[in-house]
Structure 1
Amino acid sequence: MESTRMKRQVLLVGFMILGAALLAGAASLVFWHPDVLAAEAGHAAGVALDPSVMRWGFISAALATGLGSLGAAYAVGSVGTAAMGALAEKPELFGRVIILVGLAEGIAIYGLIVSVLILNRLG
């Protein structure tokens, strides 16, 4: 039973790493693609952005928020389970445990910040 749980956790971590790699690839398309650089120069001159650039920008912003939220959900689930077990035995650990849960929740905030930066770059 413990080995199947460990296999699921390893599989989930693998999917999270794959998602992060896809997110980095999508973000690199938005930030460093030659069309984006040319569109940015045109945008400064008052020319509208290319629709394909806008499409990739919105996709990468959605991936940043979505994958960040999924990662935070998994982290809070794992940390929260361990925190409840620790609090059941030693209630005086509440301050330390709440900090760990807050750090796990920070993953979602980082994803949201990345998506806001991407959308600001498009606008």
Structure 2
Amino acid sequence: MYWLVALMTFAILGLILLGLVLELRPQLATGARPWYKPAMGTQLVVFVGAQLGLLVLGINNAFAEVDVVAMESVNEMSLGMGLAIIGAGIPTAISTIGAGIAVGPIGAASLAAITEKPENLGRTLIYLGLAEGIAIYGLVISILLINKL
């Protein structure tokens, strides 16, 4: 099972290195044949295959028999509780990504508007605050969900 984790790690490292290469040397991506698309596809297939392998091979560990005497002495987090905590964090993650996507164009437009008419500063700050409020809503939902656990 450790070889699947190593396979996933190498696939992610390959994707990160490929992204760095294409970011630092963009002229490599403009060749006659796009060599990076098959490389990215292969790494993604390896990563997803390793995840599916972990899911299939790790299903026995998830349904293993529980020793009640050993569990009383150790405070371990169950699989369900771990998934519940991840689920509680998802609203914050998605809303933060949405706020980042919203703040970028609004901030650029705000700077352009302030350059032309500086008296519009207060109005543009309100728009930026509304866009940033999306992240705060997700954080509030996550806090409410964690309080229910």
Provide TM-score, normalisation by structure 2. Answer: 0.46
* Structure with greater contact order relative to length (CA < 8 Å, sep ≥ 6): 1
**How many pairs does the alignment contain?**
73
Q: Partner amino acid for 1:60?
A: G
Q: Deviations over 1:14-42 (max 9, x none)?
A: xxxxxxxxxxxxxxxxxxxxxxxxxxxxx
Task: Give the equivalent residue in structure 2 for 1:102.
Answer: 129
CA distance in 1, matches of 2:143, 2:129: 21
Task: Give the equivalent residue in structure 2 for 1:59.
Answer: 86
CA distance in 2, matches of 1:52, 1:121: 17
1:121 aligns with 2:148: yes
CA distance in 1, matches of 2:84, 2:142: 9
Runs of 4+ in 1 over 6 A off after TM superposition: none
1:75 aligns with 2:94: no
In structure 2, which of residues 114, 135, 144 is the aligned counterpart of residue 87 of structure 1? 114
TM-align CA RMSD: 1.5
Per the TM alignment, residue 82 of structure 1 is displaced from its structure 2 partner at its CA by 0.8
SS in 1 for 2:123: helix
CA distance in 1, matches of 2:89, 2:123: 33
Task: Give the equivalent residue in structure 2 for 1:22.
Answer: none
- Identity value in percent: 47
Q: Deviations over 1:67-118 (max 9, x none)?
A: 1111111111111011111111111101100000001000110110011011
Per the TM alignment, residue 62 of structure 1 is displaced from its structure 2 partner at its CA by 1.8
User: Gapped runs of 5+ residues in structure 2?
Assistant: 1-76
